Amino acid sequence: MLMPILIALIVAVIIVGIVARRTAPTRDCRWRENRAGSKGALVKYNCVTCGAEVFRSTGTPDKCMQALKSPRL
């Protein structure tokens, strides 16, 4: 009696997890240094995942800059 309810609950949790993960961003930005585009002390970085371009003076970017430009609905 309890076994079918337990199996149905496990299947429901797995389905909800799959559907919830489908809408989540799954790829993080991967930054590449572009020395040809650098300007003085500012180094240009391109993201190969989302296409964002960022100028930084210290180190690679630590988060996705493209997400800041996209509107949230």
Which of 55, 59, 60, 54 shows the shortest CA–CA distance to 42? 55
Q: Provide the whole-model pTM.
A: 0.51
Q: Which two tokens stand for residue 42?
A: 């500012």
What are the backbone angles phi and psi of residue 32, rounded to the nearest 5°? -125, 135
∠ CA 54-71-27, nearest 5°, is 60
Statement: residue 22 has pLDDT above 60: yes
Which of 40, 32, 37, 34 shows the shortest CA–CA distance to 57? 40
Q: Which residue would you say has higher pLDDT here, 44 or 59? A: 44
Give the pLDDT mean for 38-65.
82
